[in-house]
Structure 1
Amino acid sequence: MSVKKTANLGQTSILTKLPNILKCNGPKLVPFFKTVAIFFILFPKSKYKTADMFYLIFKCLPICSLILFILLHGINLRGFEYSYSRRILTGLAFSLLGDALLVYDHAFFIHGVLAFGISHILYATAYGMRPLRVFMLPFMVLPVIVIYLMLSGVLYRPLSYVIYAYIGLTMFMIWRAMARIKIDNNEWTWTRFYSFLGGILFATSDALLALDRFVTPLAHSQILVMTTYYAAQLLIALSVVDSHEDVEMNFCVIQETDIIKIIQEHGKLLSQVHPDDLFTLLSAKHAYIKQTVANTQIRAILMEKRVQIGQNIDLFLSRTPV
């Protein structure tokens, strides 16, 4: 990795530290922090059954503020580079629906759980399946077993199936968030860590809610459950800050993997093809990348990555027997 690329990635890592994100995006996050403060001032202990609609409005306002934050940060209904932000935004929308349904949990509890389950699926699809990192799965299974043992004697059949499926989706989301973290200093990004930490806090909030609802009442359950929940959603929303750059870099890696796979499958046919010819076709097919990447630094990183891919393919071809 070149010194220039390392410097750029280091600068990105610094800019995505939480204090710097809050400093740079502070005005966009003011509505969130204000609505959270108002919610806890109005409802410090528990929701009031006599004012469900009032409670619903102030409970949902912080998530509405995070949706507004993503919209203000920049999003497009089209374009590969905004796919991450779109999925996180849609996940927040389903979380908002789940919040509203759980206010009337006596009638719509299962519906609310299903809405949150869909939000976890959307978060997981935003995180992607590369790298897979199957070795992390055992760490995801253990919490599921613990929660199953905790709730197995208190849930009736139809509800238990929904709850266990939801727990599985939650751990799947956390697995995908954990898998995308890169420990290497040159490729470390704080926003990926935020998505993982957000998933952990989300699971913590759900566990506290389940414990309070089905096992034993908890002191200060409102503060414990909602604080961890709002913090989780905030961290997940903050992960979109550098998602544009992250998606573009991941796309280059996917291109490299796919090209190498094609060469492995058709090595004898492609061994005489020069890498420049491959990239000419690739550039023509994906010309929109040049149109969507406006940031000069990102463009420079992508060009360096492209040269690196070409060198890797050239080296592979030189070792491929005809």
Structure 2
Amino acid sequence: MWSKIIVFLIAIMGITYIFFIPDDPVSTKIMFKLIPMLLILVFAFLQSAGESNKYKILIMTGLFICMLADGLIYWFIIGLITFLIGHILYIVAFCPIKTSTIPKWAAILLIAYGIAMAIWIAGTIWIKGETILAFAVILYMVVILLMGWNAFQTANKFAITGAILFIFSDSILAINRFIVEIPFSDTLIMIPYYGAQFLFAYSIHAHYSSTLKNLLK
């Protein structure tokens, strides 16, 4: 019952932030940006974890760090570092529950995508003479792709879909900031971003359910 109410509130507050909150004042923009993430944290807390409590704690910590990053991204480098920590926490959460190897098609796509984006985005930054930022972007790309790689190995469809959405969201953010201004970029960034975080939260229940089924076999 409570979970359904929280899901409804996440959707309402996410739509409110994306489509109705103006860019100024920035403090109001940040406040409304954080509300859906706070609700996703509550939703994660309500998920059954059973013996998978460590996974739940790591996912919730990752959600909290990403929520902080949402506000800190207005100071780009600080926000980038904070998001990096969030991705690392998700990797740590996914690693112990690997149940299969990553499909070859997914591995090829992730590697090809990472190389292409590194050449395009980091290369553009490098040409502008911002060497340190170029290396920081490459490091970020490596970490987020590792997050996706480990998500595939969990065989948890919610974690996998969440990882794909997160990669897409961050890619739009990077292209919009460093390459070319994308129309409706905030919408294209935030819808998959909130979706990714919600799916990570729901993956707690999915992981618990799959673990329970295995124990009952």
Offset of residue 81 of structure 1? 2.4
1:37 counterpart residue number: 15
Offset of residue 72 of structure 1? 2.4
Alignment partners' CA distance in 2, 1:131 and 1:72: 25
1:72 alignment partner AA: L
Alignment partners' CA distance in 2, 1:217 and 1:139: 25
1:241 alignment partner AA: H
Of the candidates 73, 91, 100, which is equivalent to residue 71 of structure 2?
100
Runs (5+) with no aligned partner, structure 2: none
Alignment partners' CA distance in 1, 2:2 and 2:32: 26
Offset of residue 43 of structure 1? 3.0
Alignment partners' CA distance in 1, 2:16 and 2:91: 31
Secondary structure class of the residue paired with 2:52:
helix
Distance 1:170 1:42, change over 3 A: same
1:226 aligns with 2:139: no
1:116 counterpart residue number: 83
Q: Are the equivalent residues in 2 in contact too, given 1:28–1:69 (CA < 8 A)?
A: yes
1:208 counterpart residue number: 172
Offset of residue 132 of structure 1? 6.3
Of the candidates 134, 152, 174, which is equivalent to residue 178 of structure 1?
152
Of the candidates 147, 167, 183, which is equivalent to residue 117 of structure 2?
147
CA deviation vs aligned residue, 1:103-162 (integer Å, no higher than 9, x gap):
x23xxx111111111111111221125346265544322111111121112241111111
2:45 counterpart residue number: 71
Offset of residue 301 of structure 1? 5.3
Deviating 4+ runs (over 2 angstroms): 40-44, 72-75, 129-140, 242-246, 300-304
Q: Are the equivalent residues in 2 in contact too, given 1:85–1:243 (CA < 8 A)?
A: no
Runs (5+) with no aligned partner, structure 1: 1-22, 182-191, 250-297, 305-322
Alignment partners' CA distance in 2, 1:175 and 1:36: 28
Alignment partners' CA distance in 2, 1:74 and 1:86: 12
Alignment partners' CA distance in 1, 2:101 and 2:47: 31
1:112 alignment partner AA: G
Of the candidates 128, 133, 157, which is equivalent to residue 101 of structure 2?
133
1:144 alignment partner AA: G
Q: Are the equivalent residues in 1 in contact too, given 2:48–2:205 (CA < 8 A)?
A: no
Offset of residue 24 of structure 1? 8.9
Give the RMSD, CA atoms, in angstroms.
Answer: 2.3
Equivalent residues, number = 210
Distance 1:301 1:205, change over 3 A: closer
Higher relative contact order (CA 8 A, sep 6+): 2
Alignment partners' CA distance in 1, 2:80 and 2:188: 19
1:143 alignment partner AA: Y
Distance 1:64 1:197, change over 3 A: same
Secondary structure class of the residue paired with 1:128:
helix
Distance 1:242 1:170, change over 3 A: same
With normalisation by structure 1, the TM-score equals: 0.60
Which has more radius of gyration?
A: 1
1:302 aligns with 2:215: yes
